[in-house]
A = this chain, B = another copy of it.
Amino acid sequence: MDYARANASIGINGTVLTNVNANSLILTPHYIEKVKALAGVFRPYGIKVYLTARFSSPIESGDLETADPLDPEVRKWWKKKAEEIYAEIPDFGGFLVKANSEGQPGPNNYGRSHVDGANMLAEAVAPHNGIVMWRAFVYSQHDPEDRAKQAYSEFVPFDGKFHDNVLVQVKNGPIDFQPREPFHPMFGAMPDTPLMMEFQITQEYLGFSSHLVYLPAMFKEVLDEDTFVNGEGSTVSKVVDGTLSNKKLTGIAGVANIGTAKNWTGHPFGQANWYGFGRLAWDPYLDSEEIAKEWLQMTFSNEEKFVEEVSEMMMASREAVVNYMTPLGLHHIMDTGHHYGPGPWIDNLGRPEWNPVYYHRADSLGVGFDRTATGSKALSQYAAPIVEKYNSVETTPEKYLLWFHHLPWDYQMGNGNTLWYNMAAKYQEGVEDVEEMVKTWNSMKEYVDDQSFEKTQMLLQIQLKEAKWWRNAVLLYFQQFSGMELPDFIPEPEHDLEYYQSLEFPYAPGISPSWH
């Protein structure tokens, strides 16, 4: 009830009760009874419940031998299942589906398309005014040419073919909830399909609930990006809120960061991300710094000094995490499985795109993923003005440099220093950003209750320690390839590379198969 009320207070009007990798038990009568009870709790707060629909449920229920979406028996099965659910929960929201992605079953198993699968479910819930949220987070079961290209390749050809009550749900970037990614090229590329934004509020790749990272700054960066598909000003926000191509059904989803912690989110500042998500979901044109201030005032204090300095700290925290984890367009170099801490050396996983080495492509000649015309051509999925600008190293924003280009270690950047020097400088800057956060927070004791103050203080110490760990581990690793000295401003690493590579985290949260 508290959870429902908290969500309602920031405008969240739907909740998916099961994980996208959940099995089909949730669709059995025993569990529908539970779902009904939960729907009853959420209903007074204006929140509809949704379920994930495992595509192979007709088989797992023991009823059928196929889940082929064009098989009439399968279609009938889903219609009956929808009727069963709606008989108990007349305002049931509908289904969220992860299909043919990371081992989940889907229409491709039967040689059918995402449209075939989504439309079958859409027909089942349509008589009850339900919707289907079909996730675009897919990547091929076969070794990909470039994982960043796949969702676009699989979905864009089907633009306009989904039923009216289908939303295609697209992550903010083409890889997977990194500290920074360019916006997903599907935004703007499917004018005849309503695209839903999927943000991750929980910090799977951003220090879990140990690091203070104010995510609305990142959400906002994505929402403000210009797709240029209808000329300048065709922002991602306008795609998502439907105004760019006249859509009625729209939405923004967030992978929740709440858990059983007494304060819901573990890190006291995790609540700001939950809050900011809710605010932006209803108005993507809000200013993220204003949201931070609102939250600080409602949570801790109205004192101007406090609100000004801490909101500034929050706004800076997002660039900090980019700096100490993945500056200059680096991405997915986290340790494997749990995604906590650095692991750029990982190269032994079953599929190429599970390995960090796939993403940074470092060798003695250079570092970075060439996604331009000379490389994977992923850049070509964007509109012409972006392609033109990013195709040249010189005009590519430095924050996306190594996302789109493979460059020599001694490549001379805008400031006249080498890529290697600038990379080291960014990691050092990340550490210093956190030192600054520590300093700011230490001066705020008088404005905050003791428990929140001390908890945040303690967590910032962990964040500082881990920022140094990231800097040391990644620079020592890349140094093997660059063959260049660490600049003087980098303190002597506490350990050698072998030590960092030897660290194991057998009980990290989310240690089981890395599903998203």
Contacts and interface: CB of A to CB of B under 8 A. Distances in A.
A142 interface: no
Contacts of A512: none
Interface string A248-267: 00000000000011100000
B506 A25 contact: yes
Interface in A490-516: 506-507
A450 to B, nearest CB: 10
Contacts of A262: 2, 262
A156 to B, nearest CB: 39
Contacts of A507: 25
Q: Is the interface of A mostly helix, strand, loop or mixed?
A: loop
A2 B261 CA distance: 13
Contacts of A2: 262
Contacts of A260: 260-261
Q: Kindly name the residue among A2, A261, A262 whose own CB sees the greatest number of chain B CB atoms within 10 A.
A: A262
Nearest to A506: B25
A293 B451 CA distance: 32
A261 B3 CA distance: 13
Nearest to A264: B262
A25 B507 CA distance: 10
A25 B506 CA distance: 10
A1 to B, nearest CB: 8
A232 to B, nearest CB: 50
A38 to B, nearest CB: 13
Contacts of A25: 506-507
A320 to B, nearest CB: 25
A506 B261 CA distance: 25
A260 B260 CA distance: 6
A2 B450 CA distance: 13
A86 to B, nearest CB: 25
Contacts of A1: 451
Interface string A429-460: 00000000000000000000001000000000
A241 to B, nearest CB: 36
A183 B288 CA distance: 64
Contacts of A451: 1
Interface in A61-90: none
Contacts of A506: 25
A260 B507 CA distance: 18
Interface in A169-204: none
Interface string A1-38: 11000000000000000000000010000000000000
Nearest to A37: B458
Nearest to A259: B260
Interface string A348-386: 000000000000000000000000000000000000000
A507 B1 CA distance: 23
Nearest to A261: B260
A199 B262 CA distance: 27
A78 to B, nearest CB: 23
Nearest to A260: B260
A309 B2 CA distance: 30
Nearest to A262: B262
A59 B262 CA distance: 39
A406 to B, nearest CB: 37
Interface string A449-485: 0010000000000000000000000000000000000
A304 to B, nearest CB: 31
A451 B1 CA distance: 10
A25 B508 CA distance: 13
Interface in A117-152: none
Contacts of A261: 260
A400 B109 CA distance: 59
A262 B2 CA distance: 11
Interface in A257-297: 260-262
Interface in A394-424: none
Nearest to A503: B30
A426 B507 CA distance: 46
Interface of A: 1-2, 25, 260-262, 451, 506-507
7 contacts: A1-B451, A2-B262, A25-B506, A25-B507, A260-B260, A260-B261, A262-B262
Closest 5 interchain pairs by CB?
A: A260-B260, A262-B262, A25-B506, A260-B261, A1-B451
